[in-house]
Amino acid sequence: MRNKLFELYKPKQLAEFLAFIKECPDENFVYVLQHPPQNINILAASDYGYLVICLPELSQMMFSPAPFIHKMRKNLRDFKPNDYILCTGDPAIIGLSTAIVSDITNGKFNLLKWDRQERRYYPLAFDLYDKGESQ
């Protein structure tokens, strides 16, 4: 479990995150798309990488998605194929952010899925352009 958390919507922490990536380029990150409500504990996701929270809790994509797209492209620009997306919050934010990450990584990305019965996260790996052909 990693004990550092970055909240990219806070200017000072954004600068800290960018410096951390330069110092530690091989570290894995879990991009939490939207800050979860206080009653939801996501710390177990830090087993997969440092937590990077992209948006505050009550963020919503409104009538014009262009500003949101620009903001999330900026927040997700350092996403690597071995990083993870933790899907929390507004489904529109989740869908668009996953599309942005897919664009950055040529369709290769990981999600963390919460299992209610086991009470833990399971990693899911995606390769959208894999044809499923054996060689």
**Any idea what the CATH number is for the domain that residue 64 is in?**
3.40.50
Round the average pLDDT of the chain to a whole number and report it. 88
114, 40 in Cβ contact below 8 A? no
118: containing domain: 5-127
The answer to whether residue 48 sits within a structural domain is yes
Domain assignment present for 133: no
Q: Would you say residue 30 lies in a domain? A: yes
Number of domains in the chain: 1
Largest CA distance in the chain: 49
Measure the CA–CA gap between 82 and 5, rounded to whole angstroms: 18
Domain membership of residue 132 (yes or no) is no
Q: What average pLDDT does the segment 74-78 reach?
A: 93
Q: Which pTM value belongs to this model?
A: 0.89
d(CA 106, CA 81): 9
**Is 135 a domain residue?**
no
Domain membership flag for residue 134: no
pLDDT in tens, 27-68: 999 999 999 888 888 999 999 999 999 988 877 666 778 888
Q: Is residue 37 part of a domain?
A: yes
End-to-end CA distance of the chain: 38
* CA distances in angstroms from 25 to 19, 29, 45, 78, listed in the order given: 10, 10, 19, 10
Q: Is residue 40 part of a domain?
A: yes
